[in-house]
Amino acid sequence: MGASALVESAVVDAARRVFAERGYHGASVDAVAAAAGLTKGAVYSRFASKEALFVAAALDRDEEALGEINGTGPADWARSWARGLDAQRLWTMLGLEFRLYGLRHQALADTTRDWQRASHDRLRDEIERRVAEAGLGLTVDPDSAASLLAAAAAGLAQQHHTDPGIDVEAVMSTLLELLTLST
């Protein structure tokens, strides 16, 4: 990775933290620059606007998150997902902030929709792959399974971060067991 790519990566990482901690409206390009150890001009040389920086910070997490879920079946998948939740707090906040911003700003509606559709498609494909590898089948079509899992994961992550006493692993395990069956 070249120096320019490293700087851009540092800016995006700093932006994730700042936007997650302060929200879109509470964050500033100055705060992102300071968190990245750069000048505001250095940030603007890579991103045309605060909104462009926000979009870049919010959009590329799905592939990495899916790779962190391990195991050979529903109970294992739920366990590894639940164990990773504490490390996902920033992503939970950032995802909520991005969706809210997209709901409030029509100009970003297409970007939000496209991101959600791409995320859905990756999740659907990953579900199909993992279920087949485990020798299981789905009780619903793959698109419905992806929608149900995405909604449940987002909601359970939010609940976990506001009430860590909720047994999110058990809930997710139950959902995954309801969605899969032995073939």
Instruction: Write the pLDDT tens digit of every residue in 12-36.
Output: 999 999 998 998 999 999 999 999 9
Are 32 and 67 part of one and the same domain? Answer: no
Q: Which of 41, 57, 73 is the last residue before a domain boundary?
A: 57
Are 136 and 66 part of one and the same domain? Answer: yes
Instruction: Record the tokens describing residue 135, joined without a space.
Output: 């020798």
For residue 1, the SS3 value is coil
How far apart (Å, rounded) are the C-alpha atoms in residues 125 and 128? 5
142-175 confidence digits (pLDDT tens) = 999 999 999 999 999 999 999 989 999 999 999 9
How far apart (Å, rounded) are the C-alpha atoms in residues 8 and 14? 10
Are 65 and 51 part of one and the same domain? Answer: no
Are 50 and 65 part of one and the same domain? Answer: no
Domain that holds residue 4: 1-57
Are 125 and 140 part of one and the same domain? Answer: yes
> What CATH number did the domain enclosing 8 receive?
1.10.10.60
Are 51 and 68 part of one and the same domain? Answer: no
pTM for the full predicted model:
0.78
